[in-house]
Amino acid sequence: MDPDKQNKVLLRLHRLEAAGLFIDNFLVREQEVWGILGDTGSGMDVLTAVLGANLAVVRSGECLLPPDLGLVSFVRQQELFEQELRQDDTDFLDRLDPGTPARNFLTNVEVHAELIRLFNLEQVLDRGYRNLSSGEARKIGILQELTRGVRVLALEHPFDGLDQASCRELDQLLARLHTRGLTLLFLCSDTTDLPTWCSHLALVRDGVLRHCGPAKEIAPLLEPAKMRSQALFQVRVEDLPRESPRDSQAGSAVATDSQPLVQLRNGFARYGEVEVFQGLDLVIRPGEHTLVTGPNGCGKSTLVQLITGDHPLCYSNDLYLFGHKRGSGESIWELKRHMGIVSNDLHRNHRVSGTALAIVLSGLFDSIGLYTRPSDEQRLLGERWLRWLGLAAKAGKPFRRLSYGEQRLLLLARALIKGPRLLLLDEPTQGLDGANRKALLDFLERAAAERLCTILYISHRQDECRSFFHQHLQFSASQEAKPFRLTATGLFV
């Protein structure tokens, strides 16, 4: 390639002041690969907004963005999901509306058939967007940008929500596309998530973009030992605000120590004619903390939806919750009052207005948004939870103006504030930096030791398997059929 062309400046941010972020001088040249690292709440969300051409956050300075810049971010995925919800016709059909087929988000599908094959997404093109797993939706988002011909692509946490094999495949595929002329920016919160082939590195810390330069010069400054990342909250179970103003153990759905919290016999799930899994036997007794792993699209999140009653087949399955068979007359709200939930679905459904404090307090009422006036005692409890998370200063800030990682921590507090018997965590550390991920897992380990709740935990990350898990439910892909089938269950570790 012509050296002069290779040195062409594609993106320039100079003396830029945005909402909580300052950038002195940041240049991206053609065919560079930037790894940009930032902790939860550091200002990375503002940088992502700038790269997404959200100039409303820019107060002053120069912002030169290329017209063919593509961005894949949590905010963009949320906007797409909300658009799909507005178009949901389930109420007018005799079945669930699967939403817009995935292929409709891509440009010139036939022309890009080879690229789609490389992303291993041929089998999901006719599936509705809302039926995609979080990892599949992430890859469709990347393909959406590539098929429209972008030459510069910014990716926020591109490997979050992907299984290990998919992470390796995406890394190799993006490296291959880079050799074909694609300029890349990776926005991550952990050094281990940055591709090893980044040519340039930068750090966002305390609202400033700093240490910008060639990877060989900057890498020593970003070593974990020198990063000094600190979690927003400290792992002290004894300081946990556990005095719930409502008795979470009351009601007819409470399980005794001899009753399983969850019992599923020969479980199955499907979307329309597409089978997700079948033949699943699962029992979770009090204190039997369960880890669930497996490839994207195999049904891990669907299993959570069956348990929470958010999938219509929960009534067709032989499913018992807290000793009661689903569909035997009990209200889903009677059951949910004993569950704490953090999931991608729940996160995406929090599209209502509300402050950080309101979101935490809504957990007392099992609502998305706060519609009941909390008592003074409940309000104080919510404020204590915010202090424990290190987010007290943001109690009055709108939930959707917080960073994705901060939103995730608030949803954890929302799940825990009522002292649930069963805590369902579907990729709860998505969007968190390494320090906060470790703090969360340390807290869960302590919570398990103190028998505060029973945990069902879904993860794609190897570094999240802790010794407090009593059983491991491992989904795997069938070699004979698509979509994925369940081929292994109940593997104890």
Q: Which pLDDT tens digit goes with each residue over 255-300? A: 446 689 999 999 999 877 778 889 999 999 999 999 999 888 788 9
- Cα separation of 475 and 485, whole Å? 8
* Whole-number pLDDT of residue 253: 41
Q: Are residues 201 and 242 in the same domain?
A: no
Whether 232 maps to a domain, the answer reads: no
What 3-state class would DSSP assign to 37?
Answer: strand
Task: Convert the pLDDT of each residue in 127-139 to its tens digit.
Answer: 888 888 878 888 9
* Whole-number pLDDT of residue 116: 94
Domain with residue 433: its CATH number is 3.40.50.300
Average pLDDT over residues 315-340: 87
Whether 179 maps to a domain, the answer reads: yes
Residue 451 in tokens: 């028998």
Q: Which residue has the tokens 């892909």?
A: 477
Total-model pTM? 0.81
Task: Convert the pLDDT of each residue in 177-192 to its tens digit.
Answer: 999 999 999 999 888 8
Domain boundary among 208, 227, 246: 227
Residue 366 in tokens: 């099992």
Q: Are residues 245 and 394 in the same domain?
A: yes
Q: Are residues 329 and 391 in the same domain?
A: yes
Whether 489 maps to a domain, the answer reads: no
Confidence grade of residue 93 (pLDDT, cut at 50, 70, 90): low
Identify whether the C-beta of residue 269 lies closer than 8 Å to the C-beta of residue 276.
yes
Q: Are residues 163 and 198 in the same domain?
A: yes
* Whole-number pLDDT of residue 245: 42
* Whole-number pLDDT of residue 92: 63
Identify whether the C-beta of residue 43 lies closer than 8 Å to the C-beta of residue 49.
no
Confidence grade of residue 341 (pLDDT, cut at 50, 70, 90): very high
Q: How many domains does the chain have?
A: 2
Whether 469 maps to a domain, the answer reads: yes
Q: Are residues 185 and 250 in the same domain?
A: no
9-18 vs 21-29, strand pairing mode: antiparallel
The residue range of the domain holding 221 is 3-227
Residue 417 in tokens: 């504030």
* Whole-number pLDDT of residue 28: 97
- Cα separation of 37 and 427, whole Å? 21
Q: Are residues 416 and 282 in the same domain?
A: yes
